[in-house]
Structure 1
Amino acid sequence: MAAVLTGALITSCTAERDAGSRTAGAPARDPEGVEQLGVKVLEVLPHDPEAFTQGLEMAGGTLYESTGIVGRSSVRAGPPGKSPTVRVMMRAPLFGEGITVVGRTLWQLTWQNGVAIERDARTLAELRRVAYRDDGWGLCHQREHDRLVSSNGSSRLTFRDPATLAKTGEVAVTVRGRPVSGLNELECVGNTVYANVLFTDRIVRIDAATGAVTGEIDAAGLLPAEEKKHGAVLNGVAAVPGTDQFLLTGKLWPRLFRVVFIPL
């Protein structure tokens, strides 16, 4: 039965998009040159349906995840689709938010607690806390520039020192000349930042140097409506190292999707 359900999910999620991907010609772009993309599901994996996902990142073969809600916040690590091998709960009043791995450590933001937590990436043990004078939302690491990129729900991305989290710059994110607000969970891939837009099934692909959106990804329909709880919105984007694949999930989603982004 599980295999049948999985097959049905993959078929329903990709049939329309696959038809578009077989169309000859250049990638679909709007008049402003913004590439229009969809998702093709490669695999459906289980995900903790009680995890209020706030941050998702792959490093090596390990999937790291940060979850929110005061009293239920955590950070966890393990193979994708399996029970975490390491899990650390966060005591109230902390509300867990975005995470990123930097070498042997992991940074975890908190929402409005005024601190960020540096952890051992292997054990997830807390190493230290630093002041964080902003709302914590998404976080990722641009290795080429050795800087962190953070979001706070606005239309701006902030660059930070990877050792201290001090601000080193920022960029306004726009699409067709208009600000893109609600930037949330982040994923850095080279000079590109992927950000999901809060309360939508939309992911934007951002040129971190200019803030211009170069692509819009429609991830609607991944999780069937009957499986969505209240507040179960898309909020987990993790690139699979060494591939063009991504892992996508959301708050309170019972499934994790391994996908590729394809032209519509």
Structure 2
Amino acid sequence: MFVKRSLKLLIPGLIVLLAVAVVLFFLFTRKPDTPARWTYKVVNTFAHDTKAFTQGLVFEDGVLYEGTGLPGKSELRKVQLETGDVLQTHKLPDEFFGEGITIFGDRIIQLTLESKVGFVYNKETFELLREFSYPTEGWGLTNDGRYLIMSDGTPMLYFLDPKTFKQNHKIMVLDQDSPVWGLNELEYIDGQIYANVWPTERIVKIEPETGEVIGWINMEGILPPEDHSEPVDVLNGIAYDQAGGRLFVTGKFYPKLYEIKLIPTR
């Protein structure tokens, strides 16, 4: 009688333990969801300066702001979208290789590649307000309204305080457990981080809380063969018109800037 009663008490407990074990097994061994896939459709085409080695791109108040690179040729620019005309410039000292830019309030912030120095400008006048430093290379830059988000060509994204420029936290970008290298120019769009992946013709969408890859945009063929008559470099430059819902892309030395619409393929 005692044995039967003990078994009656023991069996439900074993069932519960088994159920918990099964749940834990699937939680810790399941693969992340397969990232989504998109291609694109060109909606509009605009002129782009073929001398611009594009490293950063932002759209705000009806105009583009562009950061360009290369020693002795690096600039911060204000550009008219419709014509590609350069409306305003600030040239960096020759020793700096300009990189990503972002607009935070009334300031424009620009990185440099290997100098570990960033610049803060008045948005309207391009007056240099201050410099700041960081310990890594500087590649892409965007912001989520709270933090600056910086890439350095590795799988890491760094979240910086926009006042002190000190790192608050960082994430590693993973595509189903595989680190994504070459994170370059960045844009924060509707709660997601878009990143050019150097030196490919792909853009990756990233979940900013976890670093998980949400999906990939295949930009292959964005620059048609007839536009390869002059030397061009890689796809680099993402900008978003928040008010109009327009997405723009271009590349280093590209003769054109494209407004695109994303088309899901999976």
TM-score (norm 1): 0.85
Q: What's the offset of the Cα at 1:118?
A: 0.1
Change (3 A) 1:231 1:134: farther
1:113 and 2:110 aligned: no
Residues matched between the structures, number: 232
Q: What's the offset of the Cα at 1:84?
A: 1.7
Task: Provide the residue aligned with 1:223 in structure 2.
Answer: 223
Task: Provide the residue aligned with 1:26 in structure 2.
Answer: none
| Separation of aligned partners in 2, 1:104 and 1:154 | 29
Q: After TM superposition, where is structure 1 displaced by more than 3 Å over at least 4 residues in a row? A: 228-231
1:159 is matched by which residue type in structure 2? F
| Separation of aligned partners in 2, 1:148 and 1:87 | 23
User: SS in structure 1 opposite 2:86?
Assistant: coil
Task: Provide the residue aligned with 1:161 in structure 2.
Answer: 161
1:196 and 2:196 aligned: yes
1:257 and 2:263 aligned: no
Q: What's the offset of the Cα at 1:262?
A: 1.4
| Separation of aligned partners in 2, 1:82 and 1:32 | 41
Contact 2:49 2:84 in 1 (8 A): no
- What do you get for the CA RMSD once the two structures are aligned? 1.4
Contact 1:97 1:108 in 2 (8 A): yes
Q: What's the offset of the Cα at 1:231?
A: 5.3
Task: Provide the residue aligned with 1:72 in structure 2.
Answer: 73
Q: What's the offset of the Cα at 1:57?
A: 0.6
Contact 1:115 1:133 in 2 (8 A): no
Written as runs of structure 1 = structure 2, the 5 A alignment for 1:1-264 is 32-80=33-81, 81-143=83-145, 146-228=146-228, 229-230=230-231, 232-264=233-265
Contact 2:113 2:137 in 1 (8 A): yes
| Structure 1: gaps (5+ residues) | 1-30
Contact 1:53 1:251 in 2 (8 A): yes
Q: What's the offset of the Cα at 1:225?
A: 3.3
| Separation of aligned partners in 2, 1:59 and 1:179 | 32
| Structure 2: gaps (5+ residues) | 1-31
Q: What's the offset of the Cα at 1:165?
A: 1.5
Larger radius of gyration: 2
Q: What's the offset of the Cα at 1:33?
A: 3.1
TM-score (norm 2): 0.84
Q: What's the offset of the Cα at 1:153?
A: 0.1
Of the structure 1 ranges 36-45 and 231-240, higher mean CA displacement relative to structure 2 is found in 231-240
| Separation of aligned partners in 2, 1:105 and 1:208 | 23
User: SS in structure 2 opposite 1:85?
Assistant: strand
| Separation of aligned partners in 2, 1:247 and 1:140 | 15
1:76 is matched by which residue type in structure 2? R
1:29-78, CA deviations, whole angstroms, 9 ceiling, x for partnerless residues? xx933111011111010000010000001112121000000000001013
| Separation of aligned partners in 2, 1:77 and 1:208 | 28
Q: What's the offset of the Cα at 1:244?
A: 3.3
2:56 is matched by which residue type in structure 1? G
| Separation of aligned partners in 1, 2:84 and 2:134 | 32
1:88-111, CA deviations, whole angstroms, 9 ceiling, x for partnerless residues? 111210110000000000000011
User: SS in structure 1 opposite 2:130?
Assistant: strand
Contact 2:57 2:239 in 1 (8 A): yes
| Separation of aligned partners in 2, 1:255 and 1:245 | 16
Contact 2:79 2:87 in 1 (8 A): yes
| Separation of aligned partners in 2, 1:131 and 1:213 | 29
